[in-house]
Structure 1
Amino acid sequence: MNNERDDTTWESAMSRDFDARVRDLNEAPLDLTSVKGKAMTIRRNRRMAVAGGVLAAAAVIIPVAAIAAGNGTTVHTEPPVATSDPGPTPTEAVDTGGVEYVQGDTWHRADGTEVTLPHDYDSAVLWDGQLVGTRYDGEVYSTADVVDGQGQVVDSFDTTGAVAVNDADTTLAWVGTDGQVMTRWDGGQVSMGQVDLAAAGETIAWTVGAVTGGPDCHEAVDGCVVYLNSGLGEGSTAYDSHGIQDSPVPGALKFFDADEDGQVTALTEVADDHTCSELVIPGADPAWGPTCDHQVQQISPDGKYVAGLPSYFDGLGPTTISVIDAADGHVTGQFAPEGGFIGSWAWSGDGRLVFDTYDGASWHLMAMQPDGTIDELTDPVKGSADAGSPFTMVAG
C-alpha cells in the first residue's frame, strides 16, 4: 500500500473533518459532549475529535438566521421508483443477532442477509424497508441515498445533515439545502415549512433531530411533528402539520429524540464542566428530571428506557454508556470500556442498545439489554481511533 497516498488521504479527511467541526462551532459545547445526530453518529466527527482541544479556542458564531413558518406545501407525491436492474442478490442469511448495522460497504440486515452498498455512509436509518444512508462528499451539506434491498439507489437528495425517521419507520424527515423542512412517506412528500439557512462561514444553520406522526404528514390526514436543531446558538424548535412552529421543551438547545407517545429528550443547559438534559413525559411529572447527572438521549422502542451518556465528555468520545429507566431515572445497565470510548449508538428493534466501542486496538460492536447484559455481535475489527469505526449504527 502506498503510504504517501494514505497520508494524503488521511490529511485530507482530517482537514475536511476539521472544517465540518468548525462550521458547527455554534454547537462546540454540544459536539464536545455528544456525538452528532440520532443516532448522531457521524464517523468523520469522531475522527476529528482528536483535534477537540483546538476547537475550544475557536470564535463564537453570531446567530443571523430567521425562520419563516410554512403550512404543508406539497412538493410532489410520486417519489422515484427502482430501476429495472435488480442489482446484486443479497447473500445467504447469517446470524446478526437481529440487529441492523453497516460495516464498511455492507448492510447487515436483521433477517441475517447482507447487501452490498454503493457507498460508505456516515449515518443510516431504516425507512419503509429501505436503508437511507447519508454521506458527506466534501461540500458543506450531505447527500442521502435511498437504497433498496438489492443494494440499488432508487433516489438521492441533498440534506443539511443526517435524516430522521419516525418510530414506525414510515415517515422520513430532513432539512433540504433550500431550507425546506421535508417529510416523505410511501407515495408522497410534503414540506412542513421553511428555515433560513443563512449562516456565517460554513456553519449549518438547521438540521433535523426527530420526527413523529405520519405516515402521511398532510394536516388533513395523519399529521407530523418535525423537531429541528439550531446550529446558530439559537433555541431548537419544531414544526407541525398545522404550520405551527414552537418548541415542546422551553429552553431546549438540542433535541435528541421524540416518540409517538409524546416523550421528548432534549439538552437544556451547557456549562464548562457539565450539561443538563430532560425527558418530557406528557401528563406526568417525573421526580428525577431534569438531570445534570447524565445526558438522556435516544428513547427505546417501547418508550420505557433512554440511552444515557456522561453529563460531559470531550476527546474521542464518552467513556460510558447507560440504559436509564424512563419512569424513575435509575440506571439499569451500564458499559464502560477499559481504557477506551464509545463511538456511536442506537436502539435496535428488539429493545437493545447497540453501540460500537474502541479498546485501544480494535473496534467492537456490542448490544446491551436493559438489565445490563452485554453481547458482542460480531468479530472485533483491528484499527485505530483516528481512522474511525468500521461500523455505522442503523436507527429505526
Structure 2
Amino acid sequence: MNQTPLEDQVQDALHRRVDPIQHSPLTVTDVRQRARRIQRRRTVAAGAAVAAVLAIAVPVGLTLTGPAQRSEVPPATEPPTPRASGTVLVDPRSAEVVDSVDVPLLDVDGPSLITPDRTLDLPTVFDTLTPYLDGWVGVTMDEGTGTLQFLDADLAVEDSGGPTGGLVVSPDGQRIAWSEYTGSQWQVVLADPSGGAGWVYTKFPPAPQDHIVVPVGFVAEDEVVVRAYDDSTSTTTYTAGGDEPVEVPGLLQVDAASPATGVVAGLTESTPGRACSAVVDGLARTGTPAWETCDHRLGPFSPTGRYVVGTDPMADGNGSPRITLLDAATGEEVVDFEAVVPRRTVGGFWSQVAWEGDEALVVRMFVADDDYHIMRLGMDGSVQRIGIPSAGASGLKVAVPS
C-alpha cells in the first residue's frame, strides 16, 4: 500500500514520550536571570510579529502544545457534539482523504513548524513548542535527553536551560509548566506565557536525576499533575502549584488530567494479563475512584473534560485494535472506533492522540509492514485520512500529543 508524503513523514507523530534527562543543571538563579534578560531584550515590535504568527500557528482546537487555543474552555453544560452510535470501522484504504488538519506539525528533518497555512523555519529539532512572552519556549531532544529552549519572536534560540522532564500547557493556553533538574533535586515551574504573573516553583525532595519528574497536565488553573519516578518502574502522583508537591493517592501511575473538572486518570492495577484504570478527584485527594474500568486504558481528556480516551489495556507494540471515547463522568462508552486490518497482518491505533476540541481525534494508525496512516476520527462517526503534501520534509510529528 502506497503512502502519501505526510504519512511517510509522521512515523513518530503520536507515540513519543519525553525520556529521562542528562544535561547540565539549570539553577533557579539561572532561570530567573535568563528570564529577565529575555524580557529586557524583547520589543513591542517583536510582540506584534508573534501576534501575527499566532493567528496562523494556533488553529482552532489545539495550541502548539495543548488541546485548545487561548480562549475560555466551553462549559461542560454546552450541548454535546453530534455523535455516532455503535462501532465505527476505520479503514485507511477507503477513508476520505483531506489535505489539512487543525493540529500543528513539527518537521523533524527541516526543522520547521508546519501549519495548514504556513511553514516557519526552526533553528533545531523540537519535541514541543509553545508561545511564551513575545517568543517561544520548547523542549529539544537528543537521544532521549531533553533541554529547555527559549526562542525569540523570529524562532531563533535566545537562551538554553537544562534537564527537563517535559512541558505542558493548560487547555485555555493561559498557563504552562515544565520540570527541571537543579543539580540536586527536581522542581516544577508554573509560568504565565503572557508574562502577567511571576513563576511559581514547586520543589521536590533531593534525589538523583534519574528520579525524573514528568508533567502530565493541568488539574486546575494553577496546579499541574506530575508523575514522579521513584526508580525505573515505580511512580507517585503529585500536584504542583505551591512550595511543595502534594501527593494524589489512588493511582499507580497518572496518565491524564483535566482542569475543567479537576480529575485525573491512570492505572490502578497492572499485572500480567490484566490492567485496570480509574478516574479520581485530583483536588480532593481522597483516592476514591469516581469510576473504574478494566476494559480500557484511560487518557487523555478532551479540552472540556467531557470525554476521555480509552484504549485496549493489553495493547502491544502494534497498537490498540480499538479507540473508545468514554463519558468522563461515568465511564459510559460513547463512540467506539475499530481499526480495519487485513487478514493475517497486525496493526492498530497508538495510544497517544491529539484532540481537536471535543469534536475529533487525530491518531496514528499502524498496519503491518511499517504502513502508517494519520487519521482524523470525528465524534460524529466521520473517518478521514490526512494527506498533506509537504515538500522537502521527511519527518513530521504532532507538536505535542494530548
The TM-score normalised by the length of structure 1 is 0.64
- Name 1:80's counterpart in structure 2: 38
1:394 equivalent in alignment to 2:393: no
Q: Secondary structure at the match of 1:97?
A: coil
Could you tell me which amino acid in structure 2 is paired with residue 156 of structure 1?
S
Q: Secondary structure at the match of 2:38?
A: coil
- Name 2:330's counterpart in structure 1: 328
TM-fit CA distance, 1:332: 1.0
Q: Deviations over 1:216-248 (max 9, x none)?
A: xxxxxxx43443332524442324444353333
- Name 1:20's counterpart in structure 2: none
Given the superposition, is the C-alpha separation of residues 243 and 204 from structure 1 closer, same or farther in structure 2, using an over 3 Å criterion? closer
Matched-pair contact (CA < 8 Å) for 1:275–1:311? yes
- Report the Cα distance in structure 1 between the residues aligned to 2:19 and 2:312, rounded to whole angstroms: 21
Matched-pair contact (CA < 8 Å) for 1:127–1:169? no
- Name 1:367's counterpart in structure 2: 376
1:211 equivalent in alignment to 2:218: yes
TM-fit CA distance, 1:355: 1.7
Given the superposition, is the C-alpha separation of residues 43 and 225 from structure 1 closer, same or farther in structure 2, using an over 3 Å criterion? closer
Could you tell me which amino acid in structure 2 is paired with residue 227 of structure 1?
V
Matched-pair contact (CA < 8 Å) for 2:177–2:224? no
Q: Secondary structure at the match of 2:125?
A: coil
1:171 equivalent in alignment to 2:171: no
- Report the Cα distance in structure 2 between the residues aligned to 1:255 and 1:124, rounded to whole angstroms: 21
- Name 2:305's counterpart in structure 1: 303
TM-fit CA distance, 1:278: 1.2
**Candidates 345, 348, 372, aligned match of 1:341:** 348
Matched-pair contact (CA < 8 Å) for 1:352–1:370? yes
1:119 equivalent in alignment to 2:124: yes
**Candidates 4, 17, 32, aligned match of 1:42:** 17
Matched-pair contact (CA < 8 Å) for 1:126–1:394? no
TM-fit CA distance, 1:295: 0.7
User: Between the two proteins, what is the percent identity of the paired residues?
Assistant: 22
Matched-pair contact (CA < 8 Å) for 1:182–1:192? yes
Equivalent residue runs for 1:28-39 within 5 Å: none
- Report the Cα distance in structure 1 between the residues aligned to 2:320 and 2:296, rounded to whole angstroms: 11
- Report the Cα distance in structure 2 between the residues aligned to 1:341 and 1:129, rounded to whole angstroms: 41
TM-fit CA distance, 1:172: 1.7
Could you tell me which amino acid in structure 1 is paired with residue 188 of structure 2?
V
Q: Secondary structure at the match of 2:291?
A: coil
- Name 1:259's counterpart in structure 2: 259
Equivalent residue runs for 1:1-396 within 5 Å: 41-42=16-17, 75=32, 78=36, 80-81=38-39, 96-104=100-108, 105-109=111-115, 112-124=117-129, 132-138=137-143, 141-147=145-151, 150-178=154-182, 179-185=186-192, 186-187=194-195, 188-198=198-208, 203-214=210-221, 223-232=222-231, 233-280=233-280, 289-329=291-331, 330-336=333-339, 338=341, 339-343=346-350, 344-349=352-357, 351-359=359-367, 360-379=369-388, 390-395=396-401
TM-fit CA distance, 1:164: 1.5
Matched-pair contact (CA < 8 Å) for 2:42–2:134? no
TM-fit CA distance, 1:272: 0.9
Matched-pair contact (CA < 8 Å) for 1:278–1:296? yes
- Report the Cα distance in structure 1 between the residues aligned to 2:101 and 2:134, rounded to whole angstroms: 18
Could you tell me which amino acid in structure 1 is paired with residue 363 of structure 2?
F
The structure showing larger relative contact order (alpha-carbon pairs under 8 Å, at least 6 residues apart) is 2
Matched-pair contact (CA < 8 Å) for 2:237–2:247? yes
- Report the Cα distance in structure 1 between the residues aligned to 2:396 and 2:356, rounded to whole angstroms: 18
Q: Secondary structure at the match of 1:334?
A: strand
Q: Secondary structure at the match of 1:311?
A: coil
Given the superposition, is the C-alpha separation of residues 147 and 194 from structure 1 closer, same or farther in structure 2, using an over 3 Å criterion? same
The TM-score normalised by the length of structure 2 is 0.63
- Report the Cα distance in structure 1 between the residues aligned to 2:131 and 2:270, rounded to whole angstroms: 31
Given the superposition, is the C-alpha separation of residues 358 and 393 from structure 1 closer, same or farther in structure 2, using an over 3 Å criterion? farther
Bigger mean CA offset, 240-249 vs 291-300: 240-249
Bigger mean CA offset, 290-299 vs 122-131: 122-131
- Name 1:29's counterpart in structure 2: none
Q: Deviations over 1:312-360 (max 9, x none)?
A: 2232433433322223321413142523233442212464211222333
TM-fit CA distance, 1:211: 2.7
Matched-pair contact (CA < 8 Å) for 2:204–2:244? no
Q: Secondary structure at the match of 1:80?
A: helix
Bigger mean CA offset, 358-367 vs 80-89: 80-89
Given the superposition, is the C-alpha separation of residues 333 and 126 from structure 1 closer, same or farther in structure 2, using an over 3 Å criterion? farther
Could you tell me which amino acid in structure 2 is paired with residue 390 of structure 1?
L
- Report the Cα distance in structure 1 between the residues aligned to 2:148 and 2:340, rounded to whole angstroms: 32
- Report the Cα distance in structure 1 between the residues aligned to 2:150 and 2:340, rounded to whole angstroms: 34
TM-fit CA distance, 1:146: 4.2
Q: Secondary structure at the match of 1:363?
A: strand
